[in-house]
A and B are shown apart, each in its own frame.
Chain A
Amino acid sequence: GENVEQHPSTLSVQEGDSAVIKCTYSDSASNYFPWYKQELGKRPQLIIDIRSNVGEKKDQRIAVTLNKTAKHFSLHITETQPEDSAVYFCAASAKGGADGLTFGKGTHLIIQP
C-alpha cells in the first residue's frame, strides 16, 4: 500500500520568514495530494491540494509543488504569521479524491514572534 513520509516533525520559524514542509510517497499511482491544517483541539481543514497533472499550485501565501518523477511534494508558506501555528498533514490518494487518503505523520509548525 501507499506510504507517505513527512519531514520535519517540528519546524520553528521566525514570524515573517518562510516555512517548507516536505513529503514523499511510494505509490506511483497516487494522483491526489491534499494538505490539511489542524489547530489544537480542532478538526483538520484542507488548505490546498494538487493533482498529478499539475506541477505547482498557489493560493496567496501558500503554495504546493509536486515532482512526480521523484515522488515528492512540498508545502511552502511565505510571510508566516502567528495564526499559521498548527500541525500540518500531507496526504496522498490513488483514487483521485478524498477517500482512502494516506497521511503523513504531521509537522508541528511553530511561528516565533
Chain B
Amino acid sequence: KAGVTQTPRYLIKTRGQQVTLSCSPISGHRSVSWYQQTPGQGLQFLFEYFSETQRNKGNFPGRFSGRQFSNSRSEMNVSTLELGDSALYLCASSFQTALNTEAFFGQGTRLTVV
C-alpha cells in the first residue's frame, strides 16, 4: 500500500512569491493534516481537512491556506512568502475513526525562501 506522498520534495522561492504544495494521502484516509517543522519551533500544526472541509486550524496567518479534493488529496498554499516561511512542510493522513487514529506522515516538502 502506498504511503503518504508529498510533492515536490524541494522548492526554492523568492520573497513575495506564492507556493502550492501537494499531499496525496494513503488510500482510504479521509483526514489530512499539515504541519510546519523548523529547528527553532519544532512541529507546528497548520490545519486539518476531512471530507473536503477544514475542521481545525492552527495559529498561522491567513497567508497559509489549504484545500482538500473529493479524492482526499490536499494542497497547501502560502502567499506573499517571507524568509521565515523556510521550513519542512509535512502532511499526515489518517482514517480518523474512533478506533483508528494513527497519523502517517509524508516525507515532506523542503521550502527555502530566498
Contacts and interface: CB of A to CB of B under 8 A. Distances in A.
A98 B42 contact: no
Contacts, number: 69
Instruction: Tell me which of B43, B48, B94 has the highest count of chain A C-beta atoms within 10 A of its own C-beta.
Output: B43
Interface in A24-70: 32, 34, 36, 42-46, 49
Nearest to A4: B42
Interface of A: 1, 32, 34, 36, 42-46, 49, 89, 91, 95-106
Which of under 10, 10 to 19, 20 to 34, or 35 or more describes the interface residues of B?
20 to 34
Interface string B94-110: 10101001111111100
A98 B92 contact: yes
Contact of A98 (B41, B102, B106, B107): B102
For chain B, what secondary structure do more than half of its interface residues adopt (helix, strand, loop), or is it mixed?
strand
Given A103-B42, A103-B44, A106-B42, A96 B101 contact: yes
Given A34-B103, A99-B48, A102-B45, 11 more contacts: A43-B108, A44-B43, A44-B90, A46-B102, A95-B56, A98-B103, A100-B48, A100-B56, A103-B35, A105-B41, A106-B42
A83 B44 CA distance: 26
Nearest to A104: B42
B33 interface: yes
A99 B96 CA distance: 8
Instruction: Tell me which of A32, A98, A103 has the highest count of chain B C-beta atoms within 10 A of its own C-beta.
Output: A98
12 contacts: A36-B105, A43-B108, A44-B90, A46-B103, A96-B98, A96-B101, A98-B31, A99-B48, A99-B50, A101-B103, A103-B45, A106-B42
Contacts of A49: 102
Nearest to A99: B48
Nearest to A42: B107
B70 interface: no
A32 B101 contact: yes
A98 B33 contact: yes
A1 B59 CA distance: 10
B63 interface: no
Contacts of A102: 45
